[in-house]
Amino acid sequence: MARCGDHDGCCDGESHTKNIDLGFKYSLYMRIDKENVECLNESVEGAGKKIFKAWEERKDNSKYVESDVDEELLFNIPFTGNVKLKGFIVRGGMENTHPSIVRLFKDKPNMTFDDTSAKADQEIELVQDNEGTVEYPTKVVHFSSIHHLSLHFPKNFGASKSVIYYIGLSGEWTPAHRHGVTICTYEAVPSISDHKTSTLDSVSREIQ
């Protein structure tokens, strides 16, 4: 009986299990508010939001984003709840179009390139990953409860434009508690004289 390492394909069972695990692990794309994803400097409008897809579709080259006037790309990614971001995968293009650095910002909606001069919450050097299997861990302490993520790719490996086919996000998602809570003052025995001109006052506030 062949053992792992004896020949190619002997570990298909183990590989299949790993694929299932990674597919489940990188399912956070389903918790992205896709309609409101924004990609700055994309050459085709709306292309950026299409690269947030299932891990099994990461090699689908029909869906990709290419930068426009230079190599920079900036993604504004809102979530449908609170997210504990644990890691990510970036599958970029060939021939040096793959981004070489990513800068992560938490809870800064509507970022522009002017805002990227600020210090990032985390900055990571990327490798050229044409398979979409290299995982990058995040500093979970910085991303333990976020509702928005911005990804800034300032440069690539030397090409004039950048190409990204897939961005996978892993982590935990919980519903956002956005319902208002009304705080009222009640009287055990109301007095008519106290209510000649007004009713009970109430104060409402939204819990984020």
Whether residue 174 is predicted with pLDDT greater than 80 in this model: the reply is yes
Residue 104 lies in a domain: yes
Kindly state the percentage of the chain with pLDDT values over 70: 75
Residue 48 lies in a domain: yes
Quickly tell me which residue has 């293009």 as its tokens. 93
Residue 192 lies in a domain: no
More confidently predicted of 71 and 193? 71
Predicted pLDDT at 3: 39
Predicted pLDDT at 23: 74
Q: What is the pLDDT of residues 37-78, one digit of tens each?
A: 999 999 999 999 999 999 999 999 999 999 999 999 999 999
114-153: burial string, b at 16+ Cβ within 10 Å, e else: eebeeebbbeeebebbeebeebbebeeeebbebbbbbbbb
The DSSP secondary structure of 111-147, one letter per residue, reads --GGGGGSPPSEEEE----SSS---EE--TTTSSSEE
What CATH number corresponds to the domain at position 26?
A: 2.60.120.470
Indicate the pLDDT class of residue 178, thresholds 50, 70 and 90.
low
Residue 79 lies in a domain: yes
**What is the average pLDDT across 170-176?**
93
Residue 198 lies in a domain: no
Q: CA torsion sign, 92 to 93 to 99 to 105?
A: negative
- Give the residue ranges of DSSP H helices in 12-123: 12-25
Q: pTM, whole model, 2 decimals?
A: 0.77
Q: What is the pLDDT of residues 85-138, one digit of tens each?
A: 999 999 999 999 999 999 999 999 999 999 999 999 999 999 999 999 999 999
More confidently predicted of 6 and 53? 53
Residue 177 lies in a domain: no
Residue 124 lies in a domain: yes
Predicted pLDDT at 83: 97
Q: Return the bridge partners of 87, or none.
A: 137, 170
Predicted pLDDT at 22: 74
Full residue range of the structural domain in which residue 20 is found = 12-171
Number of domains in the chain: 1
Residue 148 lies in a domain: yes
In degrees rounded to 5, what are phi and psi of residue 22?
Answer: -65, -35
